[in-house]
Amino acid sequence: MTASSSAARAGEPAATWQPDHLLDRYEVLTLPLGPDPDGEDPITATLVRKAGPEPAVNGAVLYVHGFTDYFFHEPLADYFHERGYAFYALDLRKCGRSLQPQHTAHFATDLRRYDEELGHALDVVAAETAAGGGPERVIVAAHSTGGIITPLWLDRLRSTSPDLHDKVCGLLLNSPWFDLQGSPILRTPPVSLLLRALAAVRPKAVLPQELSDGYGRSIHETTGGEWAYDLALKPLGGFPVTFGFLNAVRRGQARLHRGVDVGVPSLVLRSDKTLFDRSRPGSVDDADVVLDVRHMSRWSGYLGDRVTVVPIADARHDVFLSVRHAREHAYREIDSWLQGTLGGATDVATSAQSAATTDPA
């Protein structure tokens, strides 16, 4: 089975890899999807890989982004590439490279919608890795909203497609969205019922709360940060949050809180602190100002299998976009996990420090 054949649908021509218009030396594969239950057809997802042959002596990584996010993390891809893992990233439907004019950005009314593209992407990644002589051994990595989507998917995949699940060897979560941040009253049953009712009648209505652009300004190169990315696909202040999407996330979080089993070892990386009060100078640079890290610690034990949770001192919400010493710490922790828990070789010429100091532009 080839990437083209696995990505195709009945009656459609097989897709092929094309140059990525956002990143040099990367390629994209469009994954056609079925009809959109949320009524914004046509929809596709986009698989991204580094162009050319990938060394895959240890397997592959499939990375999934968060909300108001898409794949642009080249140093992360380089890190895994140097350790013998082929690296792929998936821009989900209505996100990043997959966003089309008729779409409401990042909109879905059920997180199970994403099972379709995740399954197709995993199929492609495993097949290409095997075709290149590597093991069908895939680490699923995810950030923030991707960090709630992927555990639920893996839990379902164990029963719906055990052969495909067997190709996954580990789960790496970067600041996963395991619970709703903010006042405790927001997490009470009456508020959940109200949200469900609003999502049923006005799924695309936008929450009245305006998102701060402080986090975005701290990371983008034009506003004092280090990182170059497309502000049309990742606005500084984020995309509007709809009732339908937030209700889908809350339902997914409730499912996690009852306990799931991802079926593989997990590594959860998070900041050592949350600071929603951004009046302190530099708070957006050395803390998670988006989610509550206490929720990540509390609910990580509900993933099933072996779970390792590591607080990274001074990390931002996206650990891999943190200040340099925090990135170095995160990469060292992944090295230890790869070698100690997953049994993958990490004895390479380039160290975790060099991955953290890679020019992000």
Q: Please indicate, yes or no, if residue 361 is contained in any of the structural domains.
A: no
3-state secondary structure of 6: helix
Contact (CB, 8 A) for 94 and 107: yes
H-assigned helices in 106-213 = 115-131, 146-160, 162-165, 189-201
The DSSP symbol for 71 reads: -
Q: Please indicate, yes or no, if residue 24 is contained in any of the structural domains.
A: yes
Write the pLDDT tens digit of every residue in 165-200: 999 999 999 999 999 998 899 999 999 999 999 999
Q: Please indicate, yes or no, if residue 359 is contained in any of the structural domains.
A: no
Q: Please indicate, yes or no, if residue 360 is contained in any of the structural domains.
A: no
CA distances from 177 to 39, 55, 56, 294, 344 (A): 26, 32, 30, 11, 27
Q: Please indicate, yes or no, if residue 357 is contained in any of the structural domains.
A: no
Rounded CA-CA distance 128/29 in Å is 12
Count of structural domains within the chain: 1
Per the document, the length of the chain is 361
Write the pLDDT tens digit of every residue in 299-311: 999 999 899 999 9
Q: Please indicate, yes or no, if residue 195 is contained in any of the structural domains.
A: yes
Contact (CB, 8 A) for 307 and 268: yes
pLDDT of residue 196: 96
Q: Please indicate, yes or no, if residue 46 is contained in any of the structural domains.
A: yes
User: In this prediction, what percent of the chain has a pLDDT beyond 90?
Assistant: 83
User: Rounded to 5, what percent of the chain is helix, strand, coil?
Assistant: 40, 15, 45
pLDDT of residue 183: 87
Its domain, for residue 299, covers: 3-352
Predicted TM-score (pTM) of the model is: 0.92
CATH number of the domain where residue 100 is located:
3.40.50.1820
Contact (CB, 8 A) for 260 and 302: yes
Q: Please indicate, yes or no, if residue 292 is contained in any of the structural domains.
A: yes
- β-partners of residue 242 are 206
Contact (CB, 8 A) for 293 and 272: yes
Q: Is the pLDDT of residue 84 over 90?
A: yes
Write the pLDDT tens digit of every residue in 45-73: 999 998 866 668 999 999 999 999 999 99
